[in-house]
Structure 1
Amino acid sequence: MAFDDLLMRISNKALRDVAIHWNEARGQRRMPGWSDISPRAIARHLPLIWSWKYDALADVFIGRLAGEEIVQAFGENLRGKTGEEFFKNRGGEVLLARHRRVVTEPAIYHGQGAVFAHARRIVMGERIILPLAEDGEEGDGILGVTIYNFTDAGDDGGTSREDYAAEKGEFIPL
């Protein structure tokens, strides 16, 4: 059971709440569609949520939604931007490959560690990326939730740089 595997790995309640809603929204289908996700059901977590539409023919991600905390972390909103445009000079190839795998395989992604670096800070956290499909089968988007804590790069409280290793993540096939 892919979903049960995911729940065992998630340590943050907000991520768990969104994952449970995603699972309930899909019902008997492989994946829910964007229209199945209820903002009301996950309202208190909306600042942490982000989403991309995926155009399989063009192989391009287009920003759909970024909560306030996500916009703050990046310093800009992803809405309406292509993934290539938004992630330019931010490790875009790696991030888009991860997104592409989630939507095309499809798979669920769970990661922990340095979820992104921004403004000379180390950003530790946890994230999930969930595939979306209006028809329940062919991926056409992703829904993500990222929890993070900024840590000043120069003030690590004695923590070594090795402790801030890149995000460690795994894909759970559906």
Structure 2
Amino acid sequence: MNSASDLKRVFVALVISCLLHAALALMLFLGGSKSASNPDVEGGQRLKPSRALSVTLLSQKGTADPVAPASIKEASPAGNDAKGLDLIPVPEPMYYPTNQLTKPPKPTAEVELDTPEIRSIVASGAIILNLWINELGEVVLVDIEKSEVPELASGLAVKAFRHLRFEPGEINGRHVGSLMKIEITYDDRPASP
């Protein structure tokens, strides 16, 4: 009789285990809630000052909806024709313009843009860059919107920002991808006495 009792206990334990695993799988399938940390850090942009260089965060008026860069859209599985990928839709990563964020992304280090190699090829001019920063604070894409400097100089600026890390942008305490538009201005005019 003891073995029948033990058999019933094992059966009940197995049923409970299966139900808990099924519940966990269902929660993952339906998308359980994510908790985001809310570090107590002030927002704002501070880049290394330079006599001949200024970096400005540009306002993004007229941009109402979050967007995804074309190169990221093309790499997403939604555009792939492989068999079975259309069963579970994978959302594209979305990037919110800085004017829609409650806390903008903040660089974790200074950007070195006034290097000797740049000084030798840039006299004056501006570069406008779009930085696509994911919810982890990684720059996933840098594209040049406008450049008035030689291609080598704009390439060095892209490289400097591409390897920069950020505290991610937030909307109501939740980390989100963000689109930051910045202008870098090189001005080689002598300072007035």
Please say whether Structure 1 and Structure 2 have the same fold, judged by a TM-score greater than 0.5.
no
Q: TM-score, normalised by structure 1?
A: 0.30
Greater radius of gyration (CA):
2
Higher strand fraction: Structure 1 or Structure 2?
A: 1
